[in-house]
Amino acid sequence: MSSLNRRWSWTDWGNRTLRLCDAHEEWESGWERIFNRITGKSFARARKRVRDLTLEQCVEDFNDMKRRMTGKWESPPSEAICRLGGLA
């Protein structure tokens, strides 16, 4: 996360912590192209992999991430997040 531009629109570094967009509104049209251009081929491939996940793969990945990377997790359950992302 340290490589993100702290002044970029969806990064909120309040209280010295990072909060990402909660995606409760519509995404900007063409955001995928912008993301791919800015982040490069490796992250573009990862974005496409996430786009193609099944609900079960998404939930498993979220649960694995929570176990490995988070000290504090304040969000809806993994299943709800994945369903909000359009997976059924």
Do the domain assignments include residue 59?
yes
Tell me: pLDDT of 85 over 80: no
| pLDDT tens per residue across span 2-37 | 666 656 555 555 666 666 665 667 777 888 998 899
Do the domain assignments include residue 63?
yes
The label of the residue with tokens 């694995």 reads 64
Do the domain assignments include residue 53?
yes
Do the domain assignments include residue 57?
yes
41 close to 68: Cβ distance less than 8 angstroms:
no
Q: What are phi and psi of 12, to 5 degrees?
A: -120, 110
Tell me: pLDDT of 73 over 90: no
Model pTM above 0.95? no
Q: What are phi and psi of 60, to 5 degrees?
A: -60, -45
Question: Which range marks the domain in which residue 57 is found?
Answer: 38-88
